Amino acid sequence: MGSTRTRRKNGQQTAIAYHERLEKSDLLEIYRRLWFARIFDEALYDAKKKGRLRRGNVYGSRGQEAIQVGTTYPLRPDDFVSPIHRDMPVFVFRGMTPEQVMCQIWGKANAPTRGKDSWSHMGDMSLGIVHSTSMLGSTIAVACGVLWAQRLDGRRDRVLVAYTGEGATATGPFHEGLNFAAVHKLPLIVVVENNQYAYSTPVELEVPTETVADRAKGYGIPGYCIDGNDVLEVYNTTCAALEHARAGNGPVLIECVTYRLQGHADHDETRARQYRPVEEIELWEKRDPLPRYRQYLLKTGLFSEAELPEPPPDIVEQIQKAIEYAISSPDPEPHTALEDIYDESAGVSR
């Protein structure tokens, strides 16, 4: 490993500091969202450890919060996102309530999928959240379908931000999807969360090019390779990509170089300490995006220490309340198992 520095060598960098146009209230909201994502993660790990969450795995995003916040903050309300397993806070940033998301995780009757599925396997097109699919890489092909449908409806200005891990960039549907998007100049932004590992497979065994962003050259589209732990760099690059895509110039690939500070999921914690070198973990803990952004805010002179609590207590309370709400919500009744399976209005019968 230790390839981050060389991996950042290639790939374009955006020179425009879009963040300089942000108000103080925006800077604070970005800080709070970073903490929302961090606390969300910690609270779920804690619930799992204490036996309060008894189903599924917890796919943490500790260390990757700057990507979730920096890529969603500049979006318009009518843009789309396509989150995957490591992007749970994105559902909230795009309009779902923490209660809805927690009910989904606990598999409750009042969850978006009414307890039929859990974790990220949900969507809401009224919020522009494309239903997540477990077949990694296929999310890009699905995103193309959504954008193609938009085009048939005469809409070319709604951008879709699709998230993927670096491992998933080695799949066939990723290439087919991105190729299709590039040929038809679809307004797609592919955010590659390069956290260095796909389960236990290091990035070198998934990607033969120096950077993942190099893959963009094969489709004739811009590819950025950026510091995924710097929320403002992520924000600035997303703003540039949005302008490019909205203007009808086609897709953009943004590789956010980061690190998966935990195991692949909670069940992998012990093994992940064996396949990742200790020095590597320690190095990346020092690059934690939260204290980095806090230091930046303090240096601007706009904020006092007291204005930037670590963590903000009201967010801790908000997330705990959502968890308690989910735990006390009803389980789905067995007879609902066959409901919502077919779209009756489309004329398909059971």
Ligand X SMILES: Cc1ncc(C[n+]2csc(CCOP(=O)(O)OP(=O)(O)O)c2C)c(N)n1
Q: Which of these segments, 131-139, 250-258, 322-330, 341-349, binds ligand X (CB under 6 A)?
A: 131-139
Strand partners, 163: 191
Cβ proximity to ligand X: between 199 and 303 the closer is: 199
At 254 the three-state DSSP class reads: strand
Q: Are 156 and 187 in contact (CB under 8 A)?
A: yes
How far is residue 331's CA from residue 273's CA, in Å, rounded to a whole number? 36
Of residues 84 through 123, those in contact with ligand X by CB under 6 A are 86
136 belongs to the binding site for ligand X (CB under 6 A)? yes
Residue 167 makes contact with ligand X by CB under 6 A: yes
Q: Which neighbouring-strand residues pair with 223?
A: 253
Least distance in angstroms from the C-beta of 86 to ligand X:
4
Instruction: Select the residue interacting with ligand X from 83, 137, 187, 228 (CB under 6 A).
Output: 137
Among 168, 178, 240, 253, which residue interacts with ligand X (rule: CB under 6 A)?
Answer: 168
User: Binding to ligand X by residue 271, rule CB under 6 A?
Assistant: no
Nearest in space to 192 (alpha carbons), one of 214, 230, 166: 166
Site map (CB under 6 A) of ligand X, residues 232-261, x = contact: ----------------------------x-
Smallest gap from residue 1 Cβ to ligand X (A): 14
Which residue, 137 or 223, has its beta carbon nearer to ligand X? 137
What residues pair up with 161 in beta bridges, in sequence order? 81, 189
Give the binding range for ligand X (CB under 6 A) out of 17-25, 41-49, 192-200, 286-294. 192-200
Please give the backbone phi and psi of residue 135, each rounded to the nearest 5 degrees, phi first. -80, 90
134 lines the binding site for ligand X (CB under 6 A): yes
Q: Closest separation between CB of residue 199 and ligand X, Å?
A: 5
Report residue 227: phi and psi, to 5°.
Answer: -75, 105
State the Cα–Cα distance between residues 68 and 85, nearest whole angstrom. Answer: 12
Which of the 8 DSSP states describes residue 88? Answer: H
Minimal distance in Å, beta carbon 145 to ligand X? Answer: 17
Q: What is the largest CA-CA distance in the chain?
A: 63
3-state secondary structure of 202: strand
Nearest to ligand X of 44, 242 (CB atom): 44
In whole angstroms, give the CA distance from residue 199 to residue 114.
Answer: 29
* Per-residue x/- track, 193-222, ligand X (CB under 6 A): x-x-xxx-----------------------
Q: Residue holding tokens 């990723």?
A: 174
- Site size toward ligand X (CB under 6 A) is 17
φ, ψ of residue 230 in degrees (nearest 5): -110, 100
Whichever of 203 and 326 has its CB closer to ligand X, that residue is 203
Q: Does residue 135 belong to the site contacting ligand X (CB under 6 A)?
A: yes
C-alpha–C-alpha distance, residues 237 and 265, integer Å: 29
**147 to 166: interface string for ligand X, x by CB under 6 A:** ------------------xx
Q: Give the residue with the Cβ less far from ligand X, 202 or 311.
A: 202
Asked whether the beta carbons of 319 and 96 are under 8 A apart, the reply is: no
- Give me the residues that bind ligand X (CB under 6 A), please: 86, 134-137, 165-168, 171, 193, 195, 197-199, 260, 264
